Chain A
């Protein structure tokens, strides 16, 4: 190592390529499922086309929730297409939320993370289908049982995400704040899903909506009080060198790679709130307390304006503080503001409708409307197929055996079998001879990544290679790829070999090339390289690959380093090398 430890990069090419390939393959299957749904629907159409359907008009509040959250679920599903999701989702999004959670919750979340990491590609692809499926289902199924079932699916998946993916919305990550996303966007997905799933008579019931509206009011009021509470860091803008909570958040968000206009907004807001944090917080507090009180009162004359004011406040905070939800890091959803604003508005509309006891009669649809309704039912069936296509493997995830190849060394915990052709390369070895991976077919190859000026664990790893070579057939080739862009010469490689006493290691090729050539190899094999500021030893990830005589990847693991690292499988790397090469040969 040179320091980056063994955890797999979320950009690891082996994983991202598997992810893209599986997505493409499953897309074809999903299209077949949609076509099958269409065929089933067409058969059903033929039998039922003479009948005119009846339908009860959809309350505007429910329609708002259904369409609004349908779109949001689709956006979330599309965000799951990011190639870093298989590894990044559990390690960069989920795990940090559990870090400050109580033990019982952390262990619950960790079990989910572990299950995901055993099959990260399967899980990431399944998530795409689940969320896209729910979104389409909500949008297509307007009324009736199909629509209610979509609400159930949304609430159920949302609840799972809120617990396992969100650690209950990060409620234990102090300081929780309305501004930053508490109590978690997905909590409102669940609320919306439940309201969509409930029968019309329940949603139209005054007592139900009184309860729901007041709960929403209490929640908003609670977060208003939290926001107003002194000493939580939101009133003070601090100084440029030690910014307060609001400008610090904006600075953090603005520092992430994102479109220029979004970064500009964040930079402006960060500098403004250095002086005017108190003003922004005061406005937020007044809005939250006022809106909360209006929802608690449940009076339509207060609810109507309060719900729109609240939506506007949410949109403003979404832009200024939450950086549109998706720009401040690896975006997995729009963050809390849009879902919460929509949810509050939908509840207000349903509450007012229940209060006014508007009777919505059932009407018989004409032929054209009936056909459209049937088309929607067929579309709902297709969306259900897509949803189930993701949900079934996701449900099976905890009991699927072993770790699949896609897991690679996702958790850094074990040697992972791989399949498929090893990415090719042609580089120059320490003796200025060309080494091509393709030319080594028929021989087992061990591939590592070493820095020629490394005085940390690269020498150790090289000696592990040498020790393993002594116990393996002479045909086994050990290749180390140079990972230091500052030391690319073959002379540097020879110096390393001489310094570390490796001159007698005959079947060892330490290879180098131009930076573009090496970049390609690093990228293909998922090696991250960070150049030290003062130039010298670099930091890099340290995967080791075993390539079989057939030219296919056979296994990989990450060299573990760092204070908390432990040997990957409880044995020396030498013995791992020996056993894996024998297994691959």
Chain B
């Protein structure tokens, strides 16, 4: 037990080591952030008029005692706690399509105990029976379109199901993608993200074995073959997030090398447009949310504090606001009085506080929600 826990704690602990924006220790101690190569857990998502955000709480420097909560806001109303009841939430929660209430629970330490972990897929909610282990252990990816759900399994295959009781259909594996045009050149090693757009086009984020790069592989609605989207030469080494847009997909990719950075990539067919980059040399991507106009707003924690940057293809990178709340953990977008609003979620004293950008670029708290898990004085 101790070994397993220690390993889990090491891995997740390292990923969470930047639990507060301002750090007293040197950021040079974590130059590569390889542990954060998967999609960001602290994700915000907007689906029509419904917004949802995942927020880490508890003892944020102790993965064993960090748990995740989801909050939902409909039609610009106030936020409310929407974490599925009876969940094992230490491993994180993956959300997709809040309008459909789709979410999956990531099991901490790959636990298999989760016979009843609630899982929403499409319009269906699983509240009994044995969970699909592959979903419980998936890296994070879940996407919903119509009545069908798409996910990436722990083993790295892309699966689809229209019913919880149906046997999932495997749509792609690393091996099968290597037979796709361009796939062999990439040498698909792993699949870590998936998205399906309104027209039924599917995209997956993959990591290539050649050159340590990553790629986006797409499949047209009616086609059975996959194509590797031509990412510009930027040495992307990880897909941090992949979402569908009205006309294609957007991805948040990390570029590696000596000076790691983040970029947003818009994908249309086989073409891709890339945003300017924001440096990650001394920072960590903490959260992200689609910005509503083809890019992402990202929350980055550095030794000097947190910052929010808008990364949109074809536009310059923009820093948003100043003096973020000291313990900002996630970001979200809502619609308040018809206006699209960016919100930052601060976690402190067992409360999740939502703040909006006020005049003069300062953040103003608008709502606090106390989470009743008595973790003492912890966040």
Contacts and interface: CB of A to CB of B under 8 A. Distances in A.
A563 B85 contact: no
- Most chain B beta-carbon neighbours within 10 Å: one of A452, A461, A464, A561: A561
B113 A560 contact: yes
B1 A463 contact: no
B114 A563 contact: no
Interface in A518-571: 532, 534-537, 539, 559-567, 571
A459 B87 contact: yes
Given A562-B1, A563-B8, A574-B116, A462 B372 contact: no
- Most chain B beta-carbon neighbours within 10 Å: one of A456, A464, A486, A532: A456
A464 B111 CA distance: 15
B88 A459 contact: yes
Contacts of B109: 3, 561-563
A240 interface: no
Given A7-B1, A565-B113, A459 B108 contact: no
B166 interface: no
Nearest to B111: A561
A564 B5 contact: no
Interface in B136-195: none
Contact of B373 (A495, A502, A532): A495
B129 A572 contact: yes
Given A455-B373, A574-B128, A536 B378 contact: yes
Nearest to B7: A563
Contact of A464 (B116, B373, B376): B116
- Most chain B beta-carbon neighbours within 10 Å: one of A7, A461, A487, A563: A563
Interface in B335-379: 372-376, 378
A349 to B, nearest CB: 48
Nearest to A564: B4
A487 B375 CA distance: 9
B230 interface: no
B117 interface: yes
A566 B111 CA distance: 8
A52 interface: no
Given A460-B88, A563-B8, A563-B109, A536 B115 contact: no
A460 B1 contact: no
Interface string B79-95: 00000011111100000
Interface residues of B, number: 36
Given A562-B111, A572-B129, A452 B374 contact: yes
Contacts of A565: 111-113
- Chain B interface SS verdict (over half): loop
A501 interface: yes
A501 B372 CA distance: 13
Contacts of A186: none
Contacts of A495: 372-374
B360 to A, nearest CB: 38
B86 A459 contact: yes
B328 to A, nearest CB: 22
A537 B64 contact: yes
Contact of B1 (A4, A486, A487): A4
B10 to A, nearest CB: 13
Given A464-B116, A560-B112, A561-B111, A455 B89 contact: yes
A559 B1 CA distance: 13
Contacts of A559: 113
Given A455-B373, A457-B88, A1 B64 contact: no
Given A452-B374, A467-B128, A563-B8, A532 B65 contact: yes
A1 B114 CA distance: 11
Given A453-B373, A498-B372, A536-B375, A462 B88 contact: no
Contact of A572 (B5, B87, B89, B116): B116
A5 B1 contact: yes
A573 B113 contact: yes
Given A534-B62, A535-B376, A537-B64, A457 B85 contact: no
A456 to B, nearest CB: 5
Given A501-B85, A532-B64, A562-B4, A456 B111 contact: yes
Contacts of B111: 1, 456-457, 561-562, 565
B62 A499 contact: no
Given A487-B374, A495-B372, A536-B375, A573 B115 contact: yes
B89 A567 contact: no
Interface string B38-78: 00000000000000000000110010110100000000000
A500 B86 contact: yes
B318 interface: no
A467 B86 CA distance: 11
Given A562-B4, A572-B129, A1 B86 contact: no
B189 to A, nearest CB: 21
B130 interface: yes
Given A453-B373, A459-B87, A566 B58 contact: no
Contacts of B374: 452-453, 487, 492, 495
B110 interface: yes
A359 B330 CA distance: 92
Contact of B113 (A4, A460, A532, A535): A460
A561 B378 contact: no
B375 A457 contact: no
B154 to A, nearest CB: 11
B249 to A, nearest CB: 32
- Most chain B beta-carbon neighbours within 10 Å: one of A453, A463, A564, A571: A463
B110 to A, nearest CB: 5
26 contacts: A3-B64, A5-B1, A452-B374, A455-B58, A455-B88, A455-B89, A456-B111, A460-B87, A460-B113, A463-B116, A495-B374, A532-B62, A532-B65, A536-B376, A539-B1, A539-B64, A560-B112, A560-B113, A561-B111, A562-B1, A562-B4, A563-B4, A563-B110, A565-B113, A567-B112, A572-B130
